[in-house]
Amino acid sequence: MRIASWNVNSLNVRLPHLQQWLRDTAPDVVGLQETKLEDQRFPDTALAELGYRSVFAGQKTYNGVALLARQPLADVQVGIPDFADEQKRVIAATIGDVRVVNLYVVNGQDLGTDKYAYKLRWLEAVHGWLADEIQRHPRLVVMGDFNIAPDERDVFDPVKWGDQHILTSLAERDALRRLYALGLHDAFRLHNDEAGIYSWWDYRMGGLRRNLGLRIDLTLVSDALRAEASASGIDREPRTWERPSDHAPAWVKLER
DNA sequence: ATGGTGGGCAACCCA
């Protein structure tokens, strides 16, 4: 089973890319972020033609998440339980015998802003929820646009992107480490230890051409799935296509 | 330090 996470930055614009990429790579499960579509506009029929069922939680203009799968999606949950949030950032479902959580983590803008405080509050709520979820569902995958680069290997300029910068600050990385402490592992780092492999490049200043990127799109696998995670990576190709998302898909392969 | 680009949507907000 191959599971991928992709921030498409508007599914309306990126549907042709998603269709091409599904044809090319045929993943079993896909989590999408930043669909920016109200639910009545979600292209579920077009995706069904490619063999994917879909569940989604969207809104106009901002945010929006979805899960696609070849198998049925059961026990669908939208949002974090007992955490009031207008923003559509979370969708979870059971696919086969794996519980899959798809997150669009708050960006946070800059340290000291209201958005940064919201990001840390939001991550704390996710932590509390996942602590329960992993008990209910030991076979757990948590994927998404985390808007956190785990360590210095995951940023093009570790001096700039350090303790005091958004996406790499101490408090953000602490929040990510607290998720790891639940028994969740960054699948990419189970199979790759090199620096300079990124999932996001700024549209500006020739970010992709100069490989000025960050690895902020992650797939975490639980202890119970760790031995089954046989490969992982980031598919840079769609980022090179015309009018791309600024993110590339991050994927993990689970045996059986 | 600033601003560059892109999406949504029609003036700025968000990333």
Query: What is the tens place of the pLDDT at every residue in A151-178?
Result: 999 999 999 999 999 999 999 999 999 9
Chain B positions with any atom < 7 A from a protein CB: 3-9, 14-15
Segment A7-28 mean pLDDT? 98
pLDDT band at residue A207 under the 50/70/90 scheme: very high
Q: Does strand B come within 7 Å of the CB of A165?
A: no
**Which percentage of chain A shows pLDDT scores above 90?**
100
Segment A169-196 mean pLDDT? 98
Question: Residue A228 belongs to what domain range?
Answer: 2-254
Number of domains composing chain A: 1
Predicted local confidence at residue A256, as pLDDT: 76
What is the DSSP secondary-structure string of chain A?
-EEEEEE-S-HHHHHHHHHHHHHHH--SEEEEE-----GGG--HHHHHTTT-EEEEE--SSS--EEEEESS-EEEEEES-TT---SS--EEEEEETTEEEEEEE-----STTSHHHHHHHHHHHHHHHHHHHHHHH-SSEEEEEE-S---SGGGBS-TTTSSTTSTTT-HHHHHHHHHHHTTTEEETHHHH---S---SEE-TGGGTTTTT-EE--EEEEEEHHHHTTEEEEEE--HHHHSSS--SB--EEEEE--
Segment A119-132 mean pLDDT? 98
CATH number of domain containing A93: 3.60.10.10
Q: How far is the CA of A61 from the C1' of B10 (A)?
A: 13
Predicted local confidence at residue A150, as pLDDT: 98
